[in-house]
Amino acid sequence: MSATAFTVGVEATIAAAVRSYFTKFRVLPPRALVVSRTVTPMGPASFETLLRAMTGAQTTSFVIVVHGHEDGSGLHLKLANRGRAAVGEKTTHDKLRRLMTIAARSPASVSAEDRQQLGLRDAEIGRLIGLMQTLRGKNIRAIEFRGCNLGRNTNSVARFRAFFGTQSFGAPKLHSFFGLNPVGTGANLMRAHQRSHRGTTFTYSQTFAGKTCHCCIGVNDRRKPQNGHLVADDNTTVDAWIQANFDATATRGQERRLPIHGLWKFPDINLNDPDILGNLDPRPIFPLARNARNQHEYRTHVVYSP
Amino acid sequence: MARTIAASVGKGGVNRKDDSMTVQELLNGVPPEEGGPAPPLKVDGLPWQKTIAAIQNFQRVALGFKWPDGRVDPAGKTLARLNAYDAPVVAEELPPGPIWLV
């Protein structure tokens, strides 16, 4: 299923990393969307800009990379455009519900409370509803949201799906990350790569045919990922690591830096658990990752609206 | 050692040939995903449209300029940042690259 990826409201460096990722690894699990283009629409960083870009796209499947709220309540995008500025409240599930309620009224009317709750004027509300209806008319097949946390809130997943009228809407319930990791190989690096680490760094190792690949990820003081690199015994092992985690047929090629994407898993902590002193390290879950029971783990952290 | 230019290169710049070649070479050393040109620039010392566009793209992506001016000045931020990509790679060091949460 061919899809367009959109980045809106993220920094230029992140947009470039997202573009690099979907240029190298086109297939996004678990719905196997094939990303044909990655686009950063022109205009204010708003939900309206995203909707306009979606209405103009050739595809009916989308990957959306937008910053998400920590609690999963919505997006870090203001609702509408006013000239060159983004205006209104942030795009949360309750604001989408209000827009859908306004659209369903007969005859159509906007109350003072609507204006105040959305932080918009009537014309702006009207534009958003018009775009919603246009998108519903497109019969969107799938939207995969790849910002942080939206899947934590079932109201969000349900209302975003209803707003777009899409057959499938998926969002992760974990933090989502993109990065550009330098890649190095050889015995010397394998022995001494730790000297290049910056700050607290966790090393996640995988072995293929007796050779090892270390994926090292540095975290900030909140244990969220902020940098990384990849070190392996040789290039064949790098390729095996890529094929185990991102794309079963891809190789490193000439890349000095490998674009990466994943979800960031904090351990589930049960304070009544006597084994609380076990491994509490956070870890990445890459798109093709499998857990100890050989289940597709990335899939288990993407929530779909029924 | 950091590379220098005697005068400005790019849009509205003095555009001396050797300075322009230095800038073109430095731009070609930047990975495309971090704002480097793809395909690489021809190193001909002629800083016309493609070179100016490459400077602007680098300023936008690597330096976060909202309004890139497309010019590299001898003591400016753009040249300093370009030189950071030109630093020799020390064997057995692999500085980590950035990871961003979205």
Of A138, A172, A206, which residue sits at a domain end? A172
Domain that holds residue A296: 177-304
Size of interface A-B (CB pairs under 8 A): 105
Q: Is the pLDDT of residue A169 over 60?
A: yes
Please check whether residues A185 and A203 belong to one and the same domain.
yes
Report the gap between the CA of B99 and the closest CA in chain A (Å). 4
- Judged by CB atoms closer than 8 Å, whether chains meet at A148 and B102 is answered as yes
Q: What is the pLDDT of residue B90?
A: 52
Query: Same structural domain for residues A125 and A103?
Result: yes
- Which whole number is the average pLDDT over A265-272? 68
Say which DSSP state B52 is in.
H
pLDDT of residue A132: 98
The closest of A88, A3, A14 to A44, measured between CA atoms, is: A88
Residue of chain B whose alpha carbon sits nearest to that of A21? B33
What's the confidence (pLDDT) of residue A268?
Answer: 63
How does pLDDT run across A171-218, given as a tens digit for each residue? Answer: 999 999 999 999 999 988 998 899 899 889 999 999 999 999 999 999
pLDDT of A272 higher than 80: no
What's the pLDDT at A226? 95
Q: What is the mean pLDDT of chain A?
A: 92
A64-73, A243-252, B32-41, B88-97: segment of lowest average pLDDT: B88-97
Distance CA A150, CA A192 (A): 39
Domain end, chosen from A172, A199, A214, is at A172
What's the rounded Cα separation, in Å, for the pair A220 and A201? 9
Residue A276, pLDDT > 60, answer no
Strand B71-72 vs strand B9-10: parallel, antiparallel, or unpaired? antiparallel
Model confidence band, residue A263 (pLDDT cutoffs 50, 70, 90): very high
Task: Report pLDDT digits (tens) over A52-93.
Answer: 999 999 999 999 999 999 899 999 999 999 999 999 999 999
Interface TM-score (ipTM) > 0.90: no
In chain A, positions 1-20, which contact chain B (CB-CB < 8 Å)? 10-14, 16-20
CA-based nearest distance B91→chain A, Å: 8
Whether residues A220 and A259 fall in one domain: yes
How sure is the predictor about B93, in pLDDT bands with cuts at 50, 70 and 90? confident
**Pair A128, A199 in one domain:** no
φ, ψ of residue A52 to 5 degrees: the values are -60, -45
Are A56 and A117 part of one and the same domain?
Answer: yes
Instruction: Please give the Cα distance from A279 to A266 (Å, whole number).
Output: 11
Task: Please give the residue of chain A at the shortest CA–CA distance from B30.
Answer: A256
C-beta of residue A270 within 8 angstroms of C-beta of residue A290: no
Is the pLDDT score of A137 beyond 70? Answer: yes
Which is more confident, A25 or B32?
A25
Q: Do B96 and A181 touch (CB under 8 A)?
A: yes
* Residue A279 confidence (pLDDT) above 60: no
Is the model's pLDDT at A277 over the cut of 60? no
- What is the band of A135 on the pLDDT scale with cuts at 50, 70, 90? very high
Looking at the partner chain, which of B34, B64, B96 has a beta carbon nearest the beta carbon of A198? B96
A151 with A183, same domain?
no
Asked if B97 reaches chain A (Cβ–Cβ under 8 Å), the answer is yes
For residues A17 and A100, membership in a common domain is answered with: yes
What's the number of domains chain A is made of? Answer: 2
Per-residue pLDDT at A255 exceeds 90:
no
**Mean pLDDT over residues A108-113, rounded?**
91
Q: Collapse the DSSP code of A176 into the 3-class scheme (helix H, G, I; strand E, B; otherwise coil) and give the result.
A: strand
Chain B: residue nearest A258 by CA?
A: B97
Q: What pLDDT, on the 0 to 100 scale, is given for residue A107?
A: 82
Phi and psi at A84, nearest 5°, equal -95, 10
Domain residue ranges in chain B = 9-85
pLDDT of residue A249: 92
Based on the fold, state whether residues A165 and A184 are members of the same structural domain.
Answer: no
Nearest chain B residue to A225 by CA: give it: B99
Evaluate whether A302 touches A151 at the Cβ level (below 8 Å): yes
C-alpha distance across the termini of chain A, in Å: 20
Nearest-CA residue of chain B relative to A191?
B92
Chain A CB contacts of B101 below 8 Å: 148, 175-177, 224-225, 264
**Res A92: pLDDT:** 97
pLDDT at position A227 is: 96
- What is the spatial distance between Cα B84 and Cα B48, in angstroms, rounded to a whole number? 24
Same domain, A160 and A31: yes
Do A69 and A131 share a domain, yes or no?
A: yes
Task: Give the HSE-up count for residue B63: Cα atoms under 13 Å, Cβ half-sphere.
Answer: 24
pLDDT tops 90 at residue B88:
no
* Residue B85 structure tokens: 């990509």
- Return residues 53-82 of A near B (CB < 8 Å): 65-68
Judge if A10 and A153 occupy the same domain: yes
pLDDT tens digit string along A240-253?
999 999 999 999 98
Domain end marker among A172, A187, A212: A172
Digit-coded pLDDT (tens) for A28-61: 999 999 999 999 999 999 999 999 999 999 999 9
Whether residues A158 and A192 share a domain: the answer is no
So what's the pLDDT on residue B24?
95
